Structure 1
């Protein structure tokens, strides 16, 4: 035991220690570097920190050996691409003193988006191995709502600025497009089921910080030039959070598929409500600010959101219907044996009495009781007793499959058999045949009563129960017919 588990436990211990050290160092170094004045020194430290965080993601992958290693390597490549963009930008700005936009730096920056998105999408797909249409719809609702905001407040103003060359406008617009892509996949990841481990939470924090910082930068860039500041803190902490996600030992199971779909929580309801209101909210905000209203974009997003909400409601309705059917089945089925329970047996007896009265056919009821069941439990244990009940119900169900009989668990080790079209004697013969199918060498005693055409269900079952006790008193392992039947005790030879 120890020889197999000790290396893994040591690995986890070292990984947890590296994770804690990383958080402490990042909490001190990142704010200290951001506090430096803008210039080459801060640019160099920014690049070194970014490279360190990308390297720590790789270290986490090598140490923790996650099941979806490819996804983490894509995340590391995405961070590295962004850092290479920073390095290229700073070289052009501080060393070569040429305009860094647009430039080769944008190639690295824009390459980070599909790399990060691909890594997150792989993790989301692994966590939803069985499919999750509702999660896809939820993430689409969030994406459409946020995409409208991005178009109205970021993309459209960039494209409409005729003082800027067309190529520059296209490159500038590519960044909010990349953010919408990244938002779509992170929303998909957040809507998956499964355990919200520390690694999962750090991953979500890192991407959200990255999106927030990137969007804030684009807003600042519309009205001026960013010269460094708090946004660098957001970007650096986003890299640090991704590194923390990779270093924490729980990242090994982050891609494990959940056994069931995610539940519809209050938090998800609030998020979807807010996302659905972004379209009319944008229209109201444009009108309040006196801006030119975007009828086509707002209208198209409103239609898309409406259709997605209807699709989501349809999914919830189907889920409610499925759960209602399951609850109905559970209410009518015995949880141990899988056959009808006492409630179903009572209801079925009532229907059979009405039908037999209408059709003029005989109805017989038998109560079966496994002999010495308590002794069996005491000798072999309660799990063995449960297994006996399960096997007996299965064997009797198969034997009664081609007969006009209904089987239910009446309670404890008692079962009920109701037959239509058979008199008491034939019903007793049918029940006697079940003795040969009883598993594990066990026997049962049974009492049979035929409905007299006028008595209540309670009275009918009471006569069968009295016949059962007569069978027990006569030595068990036999079937007895209640008074008024066609025969008396029917002994059984085993």
Structure 2
């Protein structure tokens, strides 16, 4: 049986003993034992698994160690004096555990998603704002207004639920962001969820003066410890910090449902409190509702912007799509017809691309297309429209370009592509060439279909003429192949 399952089994056995032995120092020692075992498990996991994000796990382990020390100190003072001052020394270490745990989680989040993800951040803020409203109305506000102790007592009483909110927001960012979702991920998320449930029940019961030790809430805390220790021991903890290879889901149905529920929290709570005759929280609820409303609008604006970009951008090369090319060419031709201007069109096709895929594999072919798009972007002028219109075929729309300008740019493209080999994967290099066809409006037509047909015929003429060359249509100058055809650099390039 794996070591992490042994650990969970040992924690379960201690938990059973905790609830079956008589109340007193023995049960207190068992409770502290589970907490100490979790600290030890996290330390062993760091040493044995050697994760890249070792600092994150060290901070999480230090947070758990702070919990353990606070538990031990609490029970020690209880056994010695029978009464524990509040706030007392254990509270210092209980409170210290929260920022240590949050810091470790933040390191994991930043390593998993190093780039700024505004959509994920907005989602986490919306849900976090809804949770904060619930905490404020039913936990924080009652505690802050009804507390009759000293200022320090009131501050400590409020600090616990505030720090719970901090952990909740960081956990939300971890859950909603991209990254590996392995066993260690689910174990640590489960641990955080149980901890927040137990902390919330404790805060409410403590405020209502109904808190009792040795109840099911202690079992929830102990289960939280056990899951955290299991996450530290599980082999997948080494990969928990791996950088996400794909972006976080943008606007799935489940995310939209979560945002909808979170947005309704404020109005529902406001209505419930009104029915109860308690309108003192109206300002806070109004501000919270306004914040969530603006955040949801911002999120929807982001979704629309993303949809617009995806509709006009090729997913692989990140240049414009065929649909955008067709619309842009039509618009530029209409503008040129009104102003008696010119529009150039260049079609670029990778020579023997099928052989590249067959010889080196489709991932290598994708790398060729991505690098080709990068080179075409680098050589195009501001205002030119670069698009991928087929598998290995690209197009450049050149507003206000005459025949000489279009042919000159086409030759520069051909030379720039063939000048430097493409990296297929360390250390594989391959010389890649392209065939280019050029057409110019109005000489080759004033309609988009006419101009595309002329450029396409010129492209096929370049293919038939031996490839790695530029051919201009009859309306462009010169009408013959342009530029010498260099010898291929490798046998693969000649294929």
Q: TM class by shorter-chain length?
A: 0.7 to 0.9
Taking the aligned partners of 1:234 and 1:316, their CA distance within structure 2 comes to: 38
Matches within 5 A, 1:305-344: 305-330=289-314, 344=325
Closer, same or farther in 2 for the Cα pair 1:49/1:173, shift >3 Å?
Answer: same
Taking the aligned partners of 1:312 and 1:27, their CA distance within structure 2 comes to: 43
Q: Of 19, 38, 55, which residue of structure 2 is paired with 1:34?
A: 19
Q: Does 1:284 align with 2:284?
A: no
**In the TM superposition, what whole-angstrom CA distance separates every residue of 1:185-216 from its partner, at most 9, and x where no partner exists?**
22233232212221121111111111111211
Q: Of 28, 46, 52, which residue of structure 2 is paired with 1:67?
A: 52
Q: Does 1:228 align with 2:209?
A: no
The equivalent of 1:189 in structure 2 is 174
Matches within 5 A, 1:4-83: 17-83=2-68
Q: Of 192, 217, 225, which residue of structure 2 is paired with 1:207?
A: 192
The answer on whether the counterparts of 2:438 and 2:471 sit within 8 Å (CA) in structure 1 is: yes
Taking the aligned partners of 1:174 and 1:204, their CA distance within structure 2 comes to: 22
TM-score where L is the length of structure 1? 0.73
Taking the aligned partners of 2:377 and 2:95, their CA distance within structure 1 comes to: 65
Of the two, which has the highest radius of gyration? 1
Taking the aligned partners of 1:39 and 1:285, their CA distance within structure 2 comes to: 42
- Once the two structures are overlaid, the 10-residue window that deviates more, 26-35 or 411-420, is 411-420
Matches within 5 A, 1:96-107: 96-99=81-84, 101-107=86-92
Which runs of 5 or more structure 1 residues have no equivalent in the other structure?
A: 1-15
The answer on whether the counterparts of 1:93 and 1:99 sit within 8 Å (CA) in structure 2 is: yes
Taking the aligned partners of 1:478 and 1:32, their CA distance within structure 2 comes to: 83
The equivalent of 1:175 in structure 2 is 160
Deviation at 1:446, TM superposition (A): 7.4
The equivalent of 2:101 in structure 1 is 116
- Once the two structures are overlaid, the 10-residue window that deviates more, 154-163 or 236-245, is 154-163
TM-score where L is the length of structure 2? 0.72
Q: Of 348, 371, 376, which residue of structure 1 is paired with 2:329?
A: 348
- Once the two structures are overlaid, the 10-residue window that deviates more, 264-273 or 444-453, is 444-453
- Aligned with 2:115: secondary structure? coil
Q: Of 140, 146, 170, which residue of structure 1 is paired with 2:125?
A: 140
Closer, same or farther in 2 for the Cα pair 1:246/1:461, shift >3 Å?
Answer: closer
- Once the two structures are overlaid, the 10-residue window that deviates more, 259-268 or 67-76, is 259-268
Number of aligned residue pairs: give it: 467
Q: Does 1:149 align with 2:134?
A: yes
The answer on whether the counterparts of 2:436 and 2:471 sit within 8 Å (CA) in structure 1 is: yes
Which runs of 5 or more structure 2 residues have no equivalent in the other structure?
A: 419-430, 486-495
The answer on whether the counterparts of 2:345 and 2:452 sit within 8 Å (CA) in structure 1 is: yes
Taking the aligned partners of 1:24 and 1:337, their CA distance within structure 2 comes to: 51
Taking the aligned partners of 2:144 and 2:466, their CA distance within structure 1 comes to: 95
The equivalent of 1:262 in structure 2 is 248
The answer on whether the counterparts of 2:472 and 2:479 sit within 8 Å (CA) in structure 1 is: yes
Deviation at 1:412, TM superposition (A): 7.9
- Aligned with 1:223: secondary structure? coil
Matches within 5 A, 1:380-391: none
Deviation at 1:63, TM superposition (A): 1.2
The equivalent of 2:490 in structure 1 is none
